Amino acid sequence: MKTCFRITVLLSLVCLFVFPCPTTHAQSKVIEIGAPIPLGGVGGAYVGIGWGYTDCQAYINEKGGVRGHKIAYLLEDNRWSVPTEIAVINRLLTMEPKDQLLLFCGNLITGTLKAMSDKINKEVRIPSISLSYSVEMFGKQGGPAKYPYYFSVGPDYSQQVGLLLRYIKKVHKKKSEPRLAVVYSPTEYGRDPLADLKEDVKKLGIKIVAEEEMAITASDVTAQVLNIRKAKPDYILWHGFLPGMPVSTVFLKTVKQYLPKVPILGTHYQTVMGMITAGGPAADGLIGVSTSVMWHETNNPFVKLAHEQAKKRGREIPVGEESNYIGGWMLGLMGAHAVDVAAASGDMTREGVKKALEASTWDFDGMYEGATFSYASHKVPMARIFKASYAQKRWNAMTPWLNVDKELK
C-alpha cells in the first residue's frame, strides 16, 4: 500500500514536470519561424545566414517583439541535402504547435520545395519563404496558382538570366550578334532556366554557341573550358553553382587562363562575396545579377541597419560572409514583417501570414531605393546587376534596381 502511494506521488510529480500547466504560456505566445539553413555539406557552410537570423531576432525582440509577441527563429542545418531538409521540416511541423509555428523562412532548396509541395501547399498549408529562385516553382509553370504557399525573395532564374541577356545586348559593341556559351550544373536548379533561356535568346538575337554541363563535384573542368574555347564565345553565362563548391573556383581559374578576355556572367548565387574570396584574382571582372544589396552599400537604409546591429552586438563579419549575413537579415525581417501585418489585421495564423505576404509591398524599409513593385507573384521582382572587383573586394553595382516585371515585358 505504501509503495503504491509512493509510486503515485512520483508519477504525478513526473507528470507535472513533463506536461507543465498549459496556462503559463498563453499570455505572450512566442511566434516561431522555421529556418533551415546550410551549415555544412556540398555547398559549404553559410554561417553568416545564421548570424543574420540571430541578430535579427535579438533586434526585433529588443524592440518588444511583434505586437507583444517574441519571435524565435528555429535554426536547423539542412546540409544542402534534400532528405535532411525534409526531415527538418517534418520534425518542426510535428513538434511545434500549430498556432506558434506560423511560417518557414529559410534556405529551402528547390528539391525540397518540389518534394514537399503537396504537403506544404495542400495538407499543412504553411507559408514558406525560400531562397530558391526555381523557375519550376516560381516561374511560368509554377507560381501562386499552383503553389499558393511558396514565396521567394527575388526573381526566378529565368528572369535573372533574362536580365543578363538584356545586359549583354546593351554592352555588346561588335556588329555581329553576340555569341554566348552556357555553362550550368546538371542539377535541378542548374537546368532550371534552360528552356526559357533558349526562347529568350531567339527573341533577342543572341547565338548560343556552346552548352556545357559541369558536375558540381568536378575537380577539373579543362575539357569543358576547351570545348567552350573552340566555340569562340563573346560571353559565358554560368548558372547553378555556389561559391562553396570547389568546382566554382576551378572553373573561374580555368576560364581566366584559357579565355582571359571573355566575361563571365552569373545568377544570384554566383554573385556573392564568397565568390570573390574563394576565386581571388580569377573572380575579378565577374558579372552577376543579385536579388540582394551588397554589404558595402552603407547608404542603403537596410544595410545601414544591419551594420548598426552587427556593431552593437560586437559581430565582426569576416570577408566572404557579408552576403550571407544580409541574406539572413532579409529572410528574418521579411518573416517578421509578414507576422506583423497578419497580427495587425487580427489574423495571426498561417493563413493570415500568407494573406499578409501577398498583400505586402514592403521594401525592407527602403532597400530597393524607392522602387515600387507588387508582391502578388509571390516573389520580389527586384534584381540588380553587379560586377566583381577583386582589388576592392566587393561587387559594384552596374545598374540601378531593375523591376523584372517591367524590364522583361
Site residues (vs another protein, CB under 8 A): 40-42, 44-45, 47, 186, 212-213, 215, 217-224, 226-227, 229-230, 243-250, 253-254, 257-258, 274, 277-282, 320
Cα dihedral 155, 161, 162, 168 sign: positive
Cα 355 from Cα 143, distance rounded (Å): 15
Closer Cβ to another protein, 273 or 343, answer by number = 273
Nearest approach, Cβ of 390 to another protein (angstroms)? 9
Closer Cβ to another protein, 141 or 222, answer by number = 222
Cα 45 from Cα 37, distance rounded (Å): 9
Closer Cβ to another protein, 121 or 324, answer by number = 324
Half-sphere exposure of residue 231: CA atoms within 13 angstroms, side-chain side? 23
- Cβ-contact 221, 190 below 8 angstroms: no
Closer Cβ to another protein, 79 or 350, answer by number = 79
Nearest approach, Cβ of 14 to another protein (angstroms)? 36
Closer Cβ to another protein, 3 or 219, answer by number = 219
* Nearest partner of 179 among 192, 169, 194, judged by Cα: 169
Closer Cβ to another protein, 107 or 152, answer by number = 107
Nearest approach, Cβ of 130 to another protein (angstroms)? 22
- Cβ-contact 250, 218 below 8 angstroms: yes
Give the number of other Cβ atoms within 10 Å of residue 337's Cβ.
18
Q: Which three cell numbers stand for residue 196?
A: 526559357
Cα 67 from Cα 49, distance rounded (Å): 25
Give the number of other Cβ atoms within 10 Å of residue 116's Cβ.
22
Closer Cβ to another protein, 250 or 341, answer by number = 250
Nearest approach, Cβ of 289 to another protein (angstroms)? 22
Nearest approach, Cβ of 230 to another protein (angstroms)? 7
Give the number of other Cβ atoms within 10 Å of residue 123's Cβ.
10
Nearest approach, Cβ of 193 to another protein (angstroms)? 17
- Cβ-contact 32, 312 below 8 angstroms: no
Nearest approach, Cβ of 312 to another protein (angstroms)? 25
Closer Cβ to another protein, 320 or 335, answer by number = 320
Closer Cβ to another protein, 66 or 225, answer by number = 225
Nearest approach, Cβ of 266 to another protein (angstroms)? 16
Nearest approach, Cβ of 244 to another protein (angstroms)? 6
